[in-house]
Structure 1
């Protein structure tokens, strides 16, 4: 009996680079919100202003990793859906419980509790209304980092049908993703709504997926990802036109903010799939255990740091902040490393 050929795998250098990127992005987002929440002055505050861009790196990494790991298994909807739910929701629910306890301990739960935000976050339709129009629900109890999960969950849902189409018509599918994304952003500019914005961001996630596909096919040149990269550039063009036409209120708000996101995505994809990315991959391989350790709890750090380090009144002093930081690491480890062991796994077939 002939053994089934195994799909190509990521090299140790690439795995180390992915871990390093995920770890650095998570730590930067934590530092960004701490700096913003505590009003860090001067150069430090300016250097930590780009938390949104770090989240865009997460989107690209997610597309890359999900495609690399799920490009065959995602065509089996039941197992794929359970793996995604098992990954996203347990830490999210723990983070929402922690936020509830923090606001209760602060004595402000009754004032800040909003059932619409609770339901919206559980249904993954949350975003930050102070940054962009068309938001259906803000994140529960002001845990703003949770905004990205509504996009991430939507991308998980869109991926299997996209993958099925891509398996039959790869070039046409990538063109369709890019064109629909550009059209969705133009529609959002005319009629702001969360669904259109999520669809507009999907080409970023798909560009990460197509970078993984090119890498697994043995390609090491940016020319191999020319099509998804070209659509990212087109998306930047649409966002630039929108930014020029519509009123602008600041570089951190719509319509400049999505333009920043799209530009960063295009630059990161182009740079990381070239010589600089290979050099960084070799450098990351020098300390893979460090990057792997931080990356393994990065999602927990991401969803839990805001209530513990910024919202909790007991964390305002030096000693309280140190205690909150220790609690953050312990909880992040628990939800990422211990909690999954208690949950049933998806069926193998």
Structure 2
């Protein structure tokens, strides 16, 4: 009789049962079971491959590669299409103008005795920005207006936000309806309103003279740095108040009541609970208001003095009146760098908060 060349083990779809192996301790059946179990294990392991490790243990995956779902590719393509318009807008209206302004600021125009112009690359424009008393005063004046405006806006907006959060009664409701009005008034209209209201022989000055005050007793507010600050505060106050109010509303009443139960005073609650929890919203508001004030043009142009000037106004004068586009581009770069300092500070603070 011809011997069979195939395996004597029965075909199984998995590994041999451990119970069967343990139950037959000896004999031919036990050896056959162990042999079949080992061969089955080798077959099952040969049909699998070890994949990436998960929690220190190699995970067995199928030898056949799993095809990537087409739905994932479609979602990525949809995400790219959604981001593309914003990226295109930023490229055309932000990145390209910034690069062009930087390139123009390093361009120096020289004029010879015959009236011909020659152009070269250099740092003469930046040397003039730092060395000229007028331009240096404009930079200092711009930073001064921005810092003072932001500080006043923050203090007033915080008081209003606290009144809206913890205040009760008709006065708080009336304040909640009226504080947002300047948000819907354009800066041009607000500037002309301030000129009519605060100028010498204006509305307020006329009322003061009618009650017996002498002419000139009203301080000079228009065409002065104080007029710029007053108007910027009036325009920026609603935005800052909205941000602070939204942050203060997130503070739960139970947290404040728990602090009061353990004997904390109102000042301690404000210092240790309200102020730290409202810091993220305050940082956002301070950063955006600083950026808006430092690059503003309408308010300082209509209400500011002739000298010194904010950089936005000075840049326009150098571009249109003095025909110095290279000095104007240098001032634009100065505005960009000052704004970049505020943006970097904001990003660093956000990163520190996330790390904590």
TM-score of Structure 1 vs Structure 2, range by shorter chain: under 0.3
Structure ranking higher in strand proportion = 2
Query: 1 or 2 for the larger relative contact order (CA 8 Å, sep ≥6)?
Result: 1
Structure with higher helix content? 1
Which protein shows a greater Rg? Answer: 2
